[in-house]
Structures are given as structure tokens and as C-alpha cells.
Structure 1
Amino acid sequence: MKPPIGRDTKLCMSLSARPGNAGSRLHNHLYEALGLDYVYKSFSTTDLPAAVGGIRALGIRGCAISMPFKEAVIPLIDRLEASAQAIDSVNTIVNDDGALTGYNTDYVAVRDLLARRMVDPATPFILRGSGGMAKAVVAALRDLGFQKGLIVARNALAGQAMADDYGFAWQADLPATGAPLLINVTPLGMEGADENALAFPESFIATSDITFDVVALPADTPFIRAAQKAGKQTISGAEVIVLQAVEQFVLYTGIRPSPAEIRSAADFAHGPGAAKALA
């Protein structure tokens, strides 16, 4: 049984422009299931340096970092673990007695998902996006051996630089035709102003084989729904967020939950079937 919250309870948290409940539900469910004296709370901030200073000063054990802070947080912490250093993007901070280390568990989750789904590295892809999460996805694709890829990003500086760094092509707008693997790493389809936006045209979806949307809120984005309707294989942002959250949980607590515990927490946080990637 989880101890009652007290002075020895360890706090973990998240920082995001659009805080949600899923991360808190998943972590807290696992704390309860494993009897750990931890609690997890999501936050937003308009003062990132002050928020990171609070992590250090208050002894907060760990912090998940989401858009738009994944790159901006780097100058504010003490060191980068190899995965974060390689892509200059942090999605996790671990506090060891005031020393803050940045990790990137997004990269691990994407790499493992694509490997588990046995997506052939010879598959050409189109990826939309150029932010911190896009770097994690592109790095995972490269490290899995993908070579035929196009990055579509209106931010020419970021898009071209990422394409050059990882050995893929870049252009500002979508090409005339699609690709077998379509990947959305933009806010298109996310709850809020873009929730009704379709990340790729239906004509692209019709000629694709696999569709991958990193948007987790909601998991059934317009892109995912259109792909499912067309009978395509899909990978959702809920699957990514579950696997990356498990890696964060391990970093914070030193304990790796069992597959059954992960499935239970994922279903509690995201709804039934969220952890199908673990099957």
C-alpha cells in the first residue's frame, strides 16, 4: 500500500504549455500499485528559468518536459545524457541532490515502437515537423537504418538543419504525392486550436501503408481516425507517451514495472488498448 503523503514523499512533475491529466494518472497509478511514496503533478509556466530553479531548490525528483520547452530547458540544467545530447532535446530532467541531468525518453520510445512493429527501414517516409520531438523521431529513424525520408517544415532554418544533420531531404511544403510511411510531429490534431486539422491529405493516407501520429491528446486524432477508416496500420501518440513515461518512471524510482502493471496504468490513464505496443 502506498504511504500517505508526508514530508518524505518525493514529488515528480511535468512542464508543458498544455498540461494534461494522462501523465499524472499513469505515474500515480504505478506509485499506488507498487506502494511507492511518490506523487506526480502536471504544471505549466510562463517563467521556465524560475520553474527549473524550483526543481533544484525544492528537491523535486524528476520532471517531464513537453512542448515548447524541450530545447529551451537545455541551458538551465547541469548535464545531458547521451540520448538528449545527440539530438539537443530534453524531455526528462532527473534531480540527484541538486544536480539536474537531461534525458530524452521520447527517442527510446519511438525507436522501440518502430522496432516492435517491425517497420522495414527501407520504407520511404514523410515527416511533418521540426521541433524537439521531431528531432527525437528523426534520430530514431536514422539509428534504425531508415535512409529515404523527407522532412516537411515551414521553419526553413530548423527543417533544413535537421535534414542535414540526419541525412534526409527537406522542403517547406508537402510534395505532390505521399509516401508509404507518414509521420506527424506537429500540433495538427492536438486538443485546442488545431484539433480538427488533418495532418496529411486523405489522398496521402489512401496511398500509405503506415501512419504515425505523435499527438497524444487525443490519441484518436483526425489523422489516426482517417487512417483507421482507410484500413491502414497506425501508431498513436498514446503508445509513444506510455513507453516514454515508463522510461521516465524507471529514471525517477529505479524500479521497472511489469508489463501487466504498465498495461493497467496505461489503460487507466489513456483508455483501453493504449498499451497495445507492449503486446
Structure 2
Amino acid sequence: MSALRHPARPPIGRDTRLCMSLSARPSNFGSRFHNSLYDQLGLDYVYKSFSTKDLPGAIGGIRALGIRGCAISMPFKEAVIPLLDGLEGSARAIDSVNTIVNDDGRLTGYNTDYSAVRALLAQAGIGRDTRFILRGSGGMAKAVAAALRDEGVERGLIVARNADAGPALAATYGYDWAADLPDIADTPPLLINVTPIGMAGGDEDALPFPEAMVAAADIAFDVVAFPVETRFLALAQGLGKRRITGAEVAVLQALEQFVLYTGVTPDAGQVRIAAEAARAA
């Protein structure tokens, strides 16, 4: 269904549909992005972010209360899988979920991170001959590694201190693994941070890669979306490097979630307004 002009969003009532997110560190991004689009399109939906220490209870609540959709963030992307009724597409392929859609009590997991990352890699011209270092081994790292593989990237290094998850991730996607970063002389063109290093609420001044390694690379990709300008991205900008930002990933994956939840595809101008609202202080 294409985006059409709608009347103002109806007042919240018994027919209002609820969408939500679950994260260890809830942010305002999803709430502001989705609610902005509901306002612009006049949709009878509302979106709210939550955290939980009871994941089975939260997922049961989604099913029991008819909550239409739920975004899933760290650290729940893999733990949520046994609680769902099925997986679609890339979520099944990479065993990681960032989106739940509730169809009359049947909960299906999707992974819109994967499609967002793959689109951005293609846009940046990253392909077969681009070597990379990916730092991290969690659910988002799976989405990024799968996107790299499916864009034809043949050579890369997964750096993760988790001696179980790191080698397993590398083996699954055909890349090498190391517990620590290599020497500066071995810096590849593409550096990817898929850890919480630099995230708001943590050590925002930390760098996932040494300054000399960033200087030696060509492209910096940080999946951290908050703050929008991480120290890693700011350093890369100052050094004249190309960048792929977590904010770009956040917008593309949230847009796909919005379409899954509502069946409505907003136009580019509406998405731009929603993205600006989501990034507001």
C-alpha cells in the first residue's frame, strides 16, 4: 500500500494498535521515528520502548495483549528465538531476530538489520575485493557478517574475545577469527564496529580501533547509533575517511519494521521528517 494523505492521527482509544521495543538500554529513536510517521500518516498506532528482566514474560505479553510489533535489541536478539512461533528470511538464516510481528497471536521473527546493512554496503561499493575487520560477535555481528558474505566479500577477520561466539561466527560465514586486533600494518580498507564501544550510557570516549588503524583504513562503519556521531565516526571524518553510520542503519531497519507493522510505505520526505524527529535531543 502506498503512502496516502490521511487525516490527523485519531486520539488513543480502544482500537489503537500498540507497537514497542525491548532493549537493555532503551532509547527514544524508535518511539520518535514510528510515532512521527503515525502522526504524518494519520494512523491509529502508538509506539513505546521498554526494557525487561523477564524476556519470556514480555514476549507472552506481546502475544496475550495483541501488541502488533516489537523491535528487539541487545541482548535479546538470540534469546528471543525459542519464544517465537516462526522465523522468516534472514532471521532464520542467521539465527538472530530484531523484529517481531504479531499476526493474531502468532509471533514471527524477522531481521531488518540484515537488509539495512546489505543495502548500505552495496551503496558504498563494498564487494568481493574489500577486506575488513569486524569487531564483535553478537546478534548484530551476525547480521553484518551475513550481509558482507551475501555482497560477495571474500576476505575478512572477526575480532572477538569470546572464544566460543567469535570462532563460530567466523566459521559460519567463511572468515578468519582472532581474539585481538592485528598489527597496524595489517589494517584492511574497511573497519566495522559491532560492539557497544562508544555507545551513549557507556564509555563514549572509547575507540573500537586505535587511531593509527583508522588512519590506515579507507572506510569506517559503526553500528552504534547513539550518539549519532561516535568518537570512531568523528575521527574517521576528521581523517577524510568514508563512513557508514549506525544512524543510517537505524533508519533503514526501522522503516522496514514500520512497513511490516502497518502495511503502509511512507515516502522519502516523510521518512526524512521522522528520522530528524528521532535524532532530536
Q: Which range, TM-score by smaller chain?
A: over 0.9
More deviation, 193-202/164-173? 193-202
Q: 2:113 matched to 1:112?
A: no
- Amino acid of the structure 2 residue aligned with 1:92: T
- Aligned runs of 1:1-279 on 2, under 5 Å? 1-177=8-184, 178-271=187-280
| Partner residue, 1:275 | none
Report the Cα offset of residue 271 of structure 1: 4.9
Distance in 2 (alpha carbons) for counterparts of 1:199 and 1:20: 22
Cα deviations by residue, 1:76-125 (Å, 9 ceiling, x for unpaired): 01000021010000000000000000000000000011112222431100
- Amino acid of the structure 1 residue aligned with 2:92: Q
Distance in 2 (alpha carbons) for counterparts of 1:18 and 1:11: 20
* Unpaired stretches in structure 1, ≥5 consecutive residues: 273-279
Q: Which has the higher contact order (CA 8 A, sep 6+)?
A: 2
Distance in 1 (alpha carbons) for counterparts of 2:55 and 2:126: 37
SS at match of 2:201: coil
Distance in 2 (alpha carbons) for counterparts of 1:64 and 1:165: 25
Identity of aligned residues (%): 70
SS at match of 2:164: helix
The question of whether the paired residues in 1 share the 8 Å contact of 2:126 and 2:151 is answered with no
- Amino acid of the structure 2 residue aligned with 1:129: G
| Partner residue, 1:277 | none
Distance in 2 (alpha carbons) for counterparts of 1:23 and 1:118: 28
Distance in 2 (alpha carbons) for counterparts of 1:193 and 1:156: 24
Cα deviations by residue, 1:121-179 (Å, 9 ceiling, x for unpaired): 31100000000000000000000000110000000110101100100000000001221
Distance in 1 (alpha carbons) for counterparts of 2:255 and 2:153: 26
Distance in 1 (alpha carbons) for counterparts of 2:259 and 2:179: 38
The question of whether the paired residues in 1 share the 8 Å contact of 2:16 and 2:46 is answered with yes
- Amino acid of the structure 1 residue aligned with 2:192: I
Could you tell me the TM-score, scaled by structure 1's length?
0.96
Distance in 2 (alpha carbons) for counterparts of 1:74 and 1:64: 13
Could you tell me the TM-score, scaled by structure 2's length?
0.95
Distance in 1 (alpha carbons) for counterparts of 2:130 and 2:203: 29
- Amino acid of the structure 1 residue aligned with 2:113: D
Distance in 1 (alpha carbons) for counterparts of 2:119 and 2:268: 15
Distance in 1 (alpha carbons) for counterparts of 2:201 and 2:263: 35
- Amino acid of the structure 2 residue aligned with 1:83: S
Report the Cα offset of residue 196 of structure 1: 1.5
Distance in 1 (alpha carbons) for counterparts of 2:279 and 2:217: 26
| Partner residue, 2:5 | none
